[in-house]
Structure 1
Amino acid sequence: MEDEVERRQIEQILELDYEELQIEEVEGLAESSDDDRDATGVPSIDKFTFNTDLTSLHSYLGEVDDTHHSFAFWEGGAILNLPLFYLEGVVLFPGATLPLRVIKPNFVAAVNRALTQADAPYTMGVVRVYRDYNNGPLRLAKIGTTAEIRQFRSLEDGTINVVTRGQQRFRLRRHWIDAEGAPCGEIQIIEEDVPLRTPRDAYAKLVPFSNLQSQQMISLNASSRKDGNEENNSEANSEESFENELSQTERRIHQSAIGACYESDRTDESTNSDDNNKLSESDIQSGSPCRNDSSFMGSSPSKHKKLVRNAGLGSIAHKVARPRSHLSCTVSRAFWPYWVYRMYDSYCLAQKAADMWKQIVGIPSMDGFVKKPDLLSFYIASKIPISEPTRQELLEIDGISYRLRREIELLERLDRIRCKICQNLLARRRDMLVMSSDGPLGAFVNPDGFVHEVMTFYKANGLALRSRPAKEFSWFPGYAWTIINCASCETHMGWLFTATNEKLKPKSFWGIRSCQVTDEMR
């Protein structure tokens, strides 16, 4: 079945490549035809005739052979020696595709070593290199990603065409050049955390029962029997509104709780039936972490505020004669209310990120990733149209929930795309266009071996054409490419892609290099 699908895709590529070139000379800046757009001004996907699946095949590399090799997966903390591939302007994430045209002898040696090594076959490390300032020395990032070689073809001129896929993050411990001139490095695989409903870092120090006054607990019990209209108030459930209601002293208590270390779970099970009807001395003094979600599910910011105030009162200790099970149902033992736990719930964050991605980008669908927050966090990080340093920042974040929270923040605030040299406004977030099944940003390699991460837009501003359209080695079958520069500083910004025949829609679109842009937040 897969061979049949691949055969049909190759036939489609050949049909597009053999079409008669019908490109008109472009004197101004092209935009998508009005016929391609819907009522909002965005190109309508329903009117697309271009098959976005063709882009991810990287057919411009020519024929490549599958390795048909089962790739190893290393445990977190494992230390390996791997050949390295340095890339400027590119950040590889686990799960992302990276095409390479290897020309330089030292990198050819690195790929050949990866193809023949016994301990980690068909695997090499990919690390971003960068400059702190223009014409400064190249520096290696400390965090990179292992790349498994899935397809390759050695050419007669000694070069190698390779298609790789990101696998696991690693820390670069040291690097060197071996006897054959291949760059190598000692790496340590990063142990990734497991998606949790309530990550451990979301818990803070609990309010000791010794600080709870009996009258306040009675008040809490009474309020829990009300209809709960206040608890359903969305404004009251927001972190900002909650903190605004606290005094300076209460806010300091709240912030100190946020920074408190997570306490180890304590065993609450009792071996004596009498223990079920009273609190132990250790519980009264320290308060053990609540492991029953029902104990904090009903806690609202208003109740949480009372607990904060009670924590600040300190001094009066009351032993409670109520059964523990009754208290667990009526009083929140956790310092944080329920909405705070949701802020660090990997699955809740994954759903929110997927919904935002669907709203902003549209395709491809994220439904299959929602139940896999770790994969979703890497996917969005590899495809979100942001600058290269920001993407390296996402790669270096440890923790699924923290990476998703940062991505949600970027999706909420990212608006304008500007030239990093002169700050010329190039495009807006709403102008993004998905021309690949992989998403609005992807890595491509040119005939000279330079890899470019390109974000695609249906409309752009402040760009000037610097060449005539060329059809050879096009990353998008059926489209010719024209080099574009920033109109202000003349920096090479990317390419304008124009359809070679009238059958293809959209008629044109822009590909802008992520390494040449800076992010502007709202």
Structure 2
Amino acid sequence: MEDEALLPNEDDSDSEETSIESQGESDEEREETFDCALPTTHSYLGDDMNELSGRTLLEWEREIDLDILPLPGVVLIPGETLPLYLYQAHHVTMVKRCIEGNRTFGVCCLFRHAPDEEGHVTTLSNVGTTAEVFSVKEDMTAGIDTITVKATGRQRFSILSRRRQIDGNVVARVRIKSEHVISGPPQSAFALPPSLLALKPVTVATTTQKQRVMEKMRSNPPSMGQFPLWVYKLYDCNIILDKVKASLKSWNDKVNVDHVSLDPIAFSFWIAANLPLDDALRVELLTIDSVIYRLQRELTIIRKYAAFCCEHCEAPIGHKDDLFSMSLDGPLASYVNPGGYVHQTITLYKVIHTRTVSHPTTENSWFPGYAWSIVQCSRCASHLGWKFARARRDLRPAKFYGITRSAIKPAIVDTSGGNESTTNRGMCRQS
């Protein structure tokens, strides 16, 4: 991880080495007293931002030219809040231009990889999400024009073509992706044949009564155009939603989804935004146009998800059991540091194979009342995130960890016997 990804003021000269940060807390100590509404306001950006009203909804399947903001390690999902601190002149110019128009620009993930034959080390995702600015502040810092922004992810799009302008900004021709909703099964699929409706309900079915039902069914077979009931259930949004909720609750009772919208599209995006996945999996979910298929894919991932590991050395870092929400947005949310680097960060009660390498400070803390220290992988020394310790004794939990999503990858168990493309082969090395 580059230095720009680290918060400032770190002091590694007196670093504290800890091979395992896994000390747990009692259930009583884990009863949160922290106001989870505070991180959603991103108060560390200041309280003097100008609020903008209105909402822009682009026409589905429409092709338009859109300013693109490439962000490394960030895959914006519709419904997510995106905080930005921009100081590069071309980015500042682009956002100002968007605010004067419909306040909307596009966000695409910038993949970083080893140089290819042509020397390219980055690749821009061909899908992204529109971001609509709802809060902004312009400033001058050390003679440099800066702009602070809070935006909301709105609609998915696919890139048809793109070009770089003379000012350095990327403009793309995009198609706004629509959401394909499969209509529910006809009522006749769940209705009993008319001949069976005449049967009176009984408490205990006798052999004679069972024979009567079977005879009625044989004399009134369903039409050849109807599918079996189990087929319809595979595409019933309510049934899939209940399965996703049950699977998440099996992780632990701290992943609360009761407050999430029951609208299938909004719910599917909330799940995509809050699962600790790598960039490739988030982009895959972003490309799925059908809410049913997206929910089915998410259900498969949730059921196979085991833990997550260091993205560089595959050392085990955390387990799904320790995931919890320090924000009303969920266990994963985006935050920006004073260097302008956006971190999509998950919160956990404990981690393993990590070490803290800086003194704690409350400056620019994303969680008011907590001091942060930088956390590294104890095996490869790559930057993982931060340890947050309370600065006030009335706050609980007493400590927790914020792990940046771009520094980890999931360990997904393939129970089918096939080759799951996102499976971390060999799982996480345990020693």
* TM-score interval (norm. to shorter): 0.7 to 0.9
Query: Partner letter of residue 305 of structure 2?
Result: L
| Structure 2 residues without counterparts, runs of 5 or longer | 1-14, 195-216, 414-431
Q: Match of 2:79?
A: 95
Q: Match of 1:373?
A: 264
Q: Which has the larger radius of gyration?
A: 1
Deviation per residue, 1:344-395 (Å, 9 max, x gap):
2222212221233344354564345564111100010001122222111111
Q: Match of 1:323?
A: none
Instruction: Decide whether the 8 Å contact of 2:268 with 2:291 is kept in 1.
Output: yes
Q: Match of 1:175?
A: 162
Q: Match of 1:53?
A: 37
Q: Match of 1:438?
A: 329
Deviation per residue, 1:246-301 (Å, 9 max, x gap):
xxxxxxxxxxxxxxxxxxxxxxxxxxxxxxxxxxxxxxxxxxxx883247999xxx
Instruction: Decide whether the 8 Å contact of 1:484 with 1:492 is kept in 2.
Output: yes
Deviation per residue, 1:436-476 (Å, 9 max, x gap):
11111111101000001111110100001111112110111
- What is the TM-score of this pair, normalised by structure 2? 0.80
Range with greater deviation from structure 2 (103-112 or 444-453): 103-112
- Determine the C-alpha separation between the residues in 2 that align with 1:154 and 1:470: 27
From 173, 180, 183, the equivalent of 1:196 is 183
Any residues of structure 2 matched to 1:222-237 within 5 Å, and which?
none
- Identity fraction in percent: 31
- Determine the C-alpha separation between the residues in 2 that align with 1:112 and 1:328: 72
Greater RCO, 1 or 2 (C-alpha within 8 Å, sep 6+): 2
Query: Partner letter of residue 53 of structure 1?
Result: A
Any residues of structure 2 matched to 1:383-398 within 5 Å, and which?
383-398=274-289
- Determine the C-alpha separation between the residues in 2 that align with 1:192 and 1:466: 45
Q: When you count strand as a share of all residues, which structure comes out higher?
A: 2
Range with greater deviation from structure 2 (67-76 or 80-89): 67-76
Query: Partner letter of residue 34 of structure 1?
Result: E
Instruction: Decide whether the 8 Å contact of 2:190 with 2:229 is kept in 1.
Output: no
- What is the TM-score of this pair, normalised by structure 1? 0.66
Range with greater deviation from structure 2 (135-144 or 353-362): 353-362
Q: Classify 1:145/1:328 alpha carbon distance in 2 versus 1 (closer, same or farther; 3 Å).
A: farther
| Structure 1 residues without counterparts, runs of 5 or longer | 1-24, 199-289, 299-325
Q: Match of 1:488?
A: 379
Q: Match of 2:58?
A: 74
How far 1:82 sits from its partner (Å)?
A: 2.0
Q: When you count helix as a share of all residues, which structure comes out higher?
A: 1
RMSD over aligned Cα, in angstroms?
A: 2.6
Instruction: Decide whether the 8 Å contact of 1:482 with 1:496 is kept in 2.
Output: yes
Q: Match of 2:246?
A: 355
Query: Partner letter of residue 89 of structure 1?
Result: G
Aligned residue for 1:73, secondary structure, equals coil
From 172, 177, 192, the equivalent of 1:185 is 172
Query: Partner letter of residue 104 of structure 1?
Result: Q
Q: Match of 2:405?
A: 514
1:416 paired with 2:400, answer: no
From 125, 148, 167, the equivalent of 2:106 is 125
Aligned residue for 1:331, secondary structure, equals coil
Q: Classify 1:328/1:56 alpha carbon distance in 2 versus 1 (closer, same or farther; 3 Å).
A: farther
1:457 paired with 2:342, answer: no
Structure 1 stretches of at least 4 aligned residues deviating more than 6 Å after TM superposition: 295-298
Deviation per residue, 1:73-110 (Å, 9 max, x gap):
12211122222111110110111111000111121111
- Determine the C-alpha separation between the residues in 2 that align with 1:359 and 1:134: 42
Aligned residue for 2:188, secondary structure, equals coil
Query: Partner letter of residue 103 of structure 1?
Result: Y
Q: Match of 2:47?
A: 63
Instruction: Decide whether the 8 Å contact of 1:196 with 1:347 is kept in 2.
Output: no
